[in-house]
Chains A and B, each alone.
Chain A
């Protein structure tokens, strides 16, 4: 069993693979394993949800066997996987946060003198 956080990471990777598969149809062995383990994980969740989610498992299987997905299948898969991780995403109104580094001395002087 994976935690919600691990599933979120797995979903993120699989969403990327859907896009990559459009240009380079063959997935690597590791990528295939990831797709399959997401499929396995979702099987537990799908057990007690609506029937439409079952289709997703089929699409994941298809993906893992290097079969090209149709446009609708891609859309369905993306939509469903996004809905799965949406609750744990950050709120859209979160403050803007920069991960840039600057000259530390200058930065300190700036914040000090700003007040």
Chain B
């Protein structure tokens, strides 16, 4: 290791060598000059001039003269690495900015002139590859960020970080495409959802029902190229309790109750067999336990006035009306007793219409309404009136089961129950991807009132009640480690490493938002002076030209 003194001594020695070389050069020039004889005087003068020029160029190169320049730094454009010059030119022209800096150039100016940044007005950042240190030095400035993405590169993406099995995972984002191409969401070799995107800037939206429990990883592929890994955590599904109120036992209800039981639902069925005689059937429910607050009450419309239904709906739970024979009467009962606004239209004069093999429905159509959702392909709809009220115009569905078409049966009833499921407890809403060292928003809904803090990643974060929704609390957390991080007692979230263009974009977005909120005063400095000097290539050209002329001149005979 050399000591500091030694380094300085070495530099001084280096300088001395340069001066010695310059001295050597001028002696050489003079010697050559003296030895030249018998030249016309005008040639002599030219040769002298050229030699002086050469010597001056070299002396100036060694001295590196600087002069003061003035530049309009009210608005400057700072271009990140890996940004095409076409994009920089386009931004410069459209924003009418005169001063464009590369990151290296900008950092150099900062070290030369401590007031350089201070005197700048507004900074426009182009691209996303800026280091946080540089951005920190611009913290007092008004910053505008202009993203610059390549084609076929993700510009934005979002999905849910935690959700339950059976819920829909939705992956949406933005991308600019060179040509029309298929975007696929794949699980191993299996395509779950895909879309053919045309050329240009496109947004996409893919969805699929979650079919796993615990950690899950999918891939988003553009053509055959991996675009993004979609990693999320699937929770166990919520299983509701279903309560049947029946006037008389029937096969349809029995089949449905059995299917619900097999699906893991808690079921209780009360049937009036004769006056003052009720039969009770319970599935997945111990005899000692009473079913309190069922999530879904299933009954026929004749029971629409039953007090249990009203209570269920006030609590925000759901009611399903089925086994309907007289549609007009059923609609009337439901609308008056439960506050629904069903409107129906008779579609046929036949007694029933076919809606699939072994499946018929009443010849009516439920008209669409704002607070209503329909089960795709079947005359079944659910309206929201505080709680949810569902109505099914299907005739018996059990023949499907008898004819061994259990799949259709399963699809119909899981679609109906999916729409009827009342709000669940302990809902978690986190937008993925979560980036390491970036702020992540966490929303909790319908957690126990006493929950004050959230335990995650071996840390805890305080929860703030939401101003808009009293059952919701929010928090903001910065994950410091990438990979799977514990969340609450048994769940996990996946935190991505910050290396992609998208991660950097997210980081800049966050920083510029913070600065924007903080810096409202705009400075009015218009111009500032700073040192300018010739770039290295210009020196090279200059010295080379001088040497060439000195060499060429004696060879010319004139």
Contacts and interface: CB of A to CB of B under 8 A. Distances in A.
Interface in B220-264: 234, 238, 262-264
A19 to B, nearest CB: 4
Given A76-B188, A88-B407, A88-B410, A100 B370 contact: no
Contacts of B429: 100
B407 A87 contact: yes
Nearest to B414: A90
A104 B371 CA distance: 15
B341 interface: yes
A97 interface: yes
Interface stretch (A10-18, A43-51, A58-66): A10-18
Given A5-B262, A88-B407, A100-B423, A94 B376 contact: yes
A67 interface: no
Contacts of B369: 115
Contact of B214 (A6, A16, A75): A16
Interface in B171-188: 187-188
A74 B471 CA distance: 41
A100 B163 CA distance: 12
Interface residues of B, number: 62
Nearest to B446: A101
Nearest to A85: B211
A56 to B, nearest CB: 12
A79 B188 CA distance: 6
Given A82-B187, A101-B423, A115-B370, A19 B215 contact: yes
A37 B107 CA distance: 64
Given A23-B484, A92-B207, A114-B371, A16 B216 contact: yes
A29 interface: no
A23 B231 CA distance: 14
Contact of A79 (B166, B190, B375): B190
Given A15-B212, A111-B371, A99 B421 contact: yes
A114 B234 contact: no
Nearest to A107: B386
Interface string A77-93: 11100110101111111
A20 B190 CA distance: 20
Interface in B131-155: none
B535 to A, nearest CB: 51
Given A91-B415, A107-B386, A16 B215 contact: yes
A19 B415 contact: no
A15 B216 contact: yes
B213 interface: yes
Contact of B168 (A23, A94, A107): A94
Interface in B455-510: 469-472, 483-484
Given A4-B406, A93-B376, A101-B445, A115 B216 contact: no
B8 to A, nearest CB: 54
Contacts of A4: 406, 410
A1 B311 CA distance: 40
B407 A100 contact: no
Interface in B93-117: none
B407 A15 contact: no
A100 B410 contact: no
B419 A95 contact: yes
Nearest to B170: A96
A52 interface: no
B418 interface: yes
A25 to B, nearest CB: 14
B359 to A, nearest CB: 16
A34 to B, nearest CB: 11
Interface string B397-436: 0000000001100110011001101011101010000000
Contacts of A12: 165, 211-213, 234
A4 B133 CA distance: 57
A104 B472 CA distance: 13
A3 interface: yes
Given A23-B483, A78-B190, A100-B423, 16 more contacts: A6-B262, A12-B165, A12-B213, A17-B214, A19-B214, A20-B215, A78-B188, A91-B411, A93-B376, A95-B373, A98-B423, A99-B238, A100-B469, A102-B470, A104-B315, A108-B386
Q: 8 closest pairs, A vs B, by CB?
A: A16-B214, A101-B423, A78-B188, A19-B215, A108-B386, A95-B373, A15-B212, A79-B188
Interface of A: 3-6, 8-9, 11-13, 15-17, 19-20, 23, 74-79, 82-83, 85, 87-104, 107-108, 111-112, 114-115
21 contacts: A4-B406, A13-B213, A15-B211, A15-B213, A16-B216, A76-B188, A76-B189, A77-B188, A78-B190, A85-B211, A87-B407, A88-B411, A88-B414, A94-B168, A98-B423, A101-B446, A102-B469, A102-B472, A104-B314, A104-B315, A112-B339
